[in-house]
Amino acid sequence: MTAQHACDTADLEPGEAMRLDLEAADGTPLPVALVRDEDGEFHAISDICSHGQVNLSDGEVDGCTIECWLHGSTFDLRTGKPLSLPATQPVPVYPVTVEGERVLVDVDTTADVAR
Protein backbone atom coordinates (compact mmCIF):
# COMPACT_ATOMS: atom_id res chain seq x y z
CA MET A 1 0.00 0.00 0.00
CA THR A 2 1.19 3.52 -0.65
CA ALA A 3 0.79 6.67 1.37
CA GLN A 4 -2.81 7.49 2.27
CA HIS A 5 -4.48 10.89 2.22
CA ALA A 6 -4.75 11.80 5.90
CA CYS A 7 -6.09 15.36 5.73
CA ASP A 8 -5.54 18.70 4.05
CA THR A 9 -2.96 21.13 5.41
CA ALA A 10 -5.71 23.55 6.46
CA ASP A 11 -7.30 20.88 8.69
CA LEU A 12 -4.61 21.26 11.39
CA GLU A 13 -3.22 24.46 12.83
CA PRO A 14 0.32 24.55 14.29
CA GLY A 15 0.25 23.03 17.77
CA GLU A 16 -2.72 20.74 17.04
CA ALA A 17 -3.16 16.98 16.76
CA MET A 18 -5.89 14.76 15.36
CA ARG A 19 -6.67 11.07 15.52
CA LEU A 20 -6.92 9.13 12.28
CA ASP A 21 -7.84 5.53 11.65
CA LEU A 22 -5.78 4.66 8.58
CA GLU A 23 -5.73 1.25 6.92
CA ALA A 24 -2.78 -1.08 7.41
CA ALA A 25 -1.63 -3.34 4.57
CA ASP A 26 -3.71 -6.21 5.93
CA GLY A 27 -6.84 -4.03 5.95
CA THR A 28 -7.07 -3.48 9.69
CA PRO A 29 -7.58 0.04 11.05
CA LEU A 30 -4.46 1.60 12.54
CA PRO A 31 -4.83 4.50 15.01
CA VAL A 32 -2.47 7.33 14.06
CA ALA A 33 -1.92 10.72 15.67
CA LEU A 34 -1.28 13.32 12.98
CA VAL A 35 0.42 16.27 14.61
CA ARG A 36 1.38 19.69 13.31
CA ASP A 37 4.19 20.97 15.49
CA GLU A 38 4.49 24.60 16.49
CA ASP A 39 6.75 25.28 13.48
CA GLY A 40 4.05 23.97 11.13
CA GLU A 41 5.71 20.63 10.27
CA PHE A 42 3.53 17.51 10.08
CA HIS A 43 4.34 14.30 11.99
CA ALA A 44 2.57 10.95 12.25
CA ILE A 45 3.00 8.61 15.21
CA SER A 46 1.00 5.80 16.73
CA ASP A 47 -1.96 7.31 18.55
CA ILE A 48 -1.61 4.80 21.39
CA CYS A 49 0.69 5.74 24.27
CA SER A 50 3.23 2.98 24.92
CA HIS A 51 2.64 3.31 28.66
CA GLY A 52 -0.99 4.12 29.32
CA GLN A 53 -2.74 2.77 26.20
CA VAL A 54 -4.64 6.05 25.65
CA ASN A 55 -4.87 8.40 22.67
CA LEU A 56 -1.83 10.64 22.31
CA SER A 57 -3.81 12.87 19.94
CA ASP A 58 -5.71 14.15 23.00
CA GLY A 59 -2.46 15.41 24.51
CA GLU A 60 -0.77 18.79 24.38
CA VAL A 61 1.69 19.65 21.62
CA ASP A 62 4.76 21.60 22.77
CA GLY A 63 7.40 22.36 20.16
CA CYS A 64 8.20 18.99 18.56
CA THR A 65 6.76 16.88 21.39
CA ILE A 66 3.38 15.60 22.46
CA GLU A 67 2.41 14.94 26.06
CA CYS A 68 0.21 12.02 27.05
CA TRP A 69 -2.76 13.47 28.89
CA LEU A 70 -3.11 10.54 31.31
CA HIS A 71 0.30 10.25 33.01
CA GLY A 72 2.34 13.09 31.49
CA SER A 73 4.89 11.20 29.41
CA THR A 74 6.19 13.24 26.50
CA PHE A 75 7.23 11.81 23.14
CA ASP A 76 9.51 13.25 20.46
CA LEU A 77 7.41 13.57 17.30
CA ARG A 78 10.45 12.94 15.06
CA THR A 79 11.66 9.73 16.70
CA GLY A 80 8.79 8.44 18.83
CA LYS A 81 11.15 8.20 21.80
CA PRO A 82 9.73 8.93 25.25
CA LEU A 83 11.39 11.95 26.81
CA SER A 84 9.88 11.59 30.28
CA LEU A 85 8.59 8.86 32.55
CA PRO A 86 6.54 6.84 33.10
CA ALA A 87 6.77 5.76 29.41
CA THR A 88 9.96 3.88 28.57
CA GLN A 89 9.11 2.42 25.15
CA PRO A 90 8.98 4.44 21.91
CA VAL A 91 5.90 4.65 19.70
CA PRO A 92 6.05 3.99 15.95
CA VAL A 93 6.65 6.98 13.67
CA TYR A 94 5.30 7.00 10.11
CA PRO A 95 6.59 8.93 7.08
CA VAL A 96 4.59 12.04 6.14
CA THR A 97 4.58 13.72 2.75
CA VAL A 98 2.88 16.99 1.87
CA GLU A 99 1.82 17.29 -1.77
CA GLY A 100 0.28 20.68 -2.37
CA GLU A 101 -2.53 20.89 0.18
CA ARG A 102 -2.71 17.13 0.79
CA VAL A 103 -1.03 15.46 3.79
CA LEU A 104 -0.13 11.82 3.10
CA VAL A 105 0.90 9.18 5.65
CA ASP A 106 2.50 5.82 4.89
CA VAL A 107 1.54 3.45 7.72
CA ASP A 108 3.14 0.45 6.03
CA THR A 109 6.63 1.74 6.76
CA THR A 110 8.05 3.21 9.90
CA ALA A 111 10.11 6.34 9.47
CA ASP A 112 13.86 5.91 9.25
CA VAL A 113 14.84 7.31 12.65
CA ALA A 114 17.58 6.40 15.08
CA ARG A 115 16.07 4.56 18.03
Give the SS3 label for residue 70: coil
Q: Which domains does the chain have, with CATH numbers?
A: 4-105 (2.102.10.10)
* pLDDT tens, position by position, 35-73: 999 999 999 999 999 998 899 999 999 999 999 999 999
Which amino acid, 114?
Answer: A
What is the C-alpha to C-alpha distance for residues 65 and 17, in angstroms, rounded to an integer? Answer: 11
Which amino acid, 103?
Answer: V
Residue 24, pLDDT > 50, answer yes
> Other CB atoms closer than 10 Å to residue 5's CB: what's the count?
11
pTM (2 decimals)?
Answer: 0.92
CB-based contact 15:34 (threshold 8 Å):
no
Percent of the chain with pLDDT over 70: 95
CA dist 33 → 43, 94, 105 (Å): 8, 10, 11
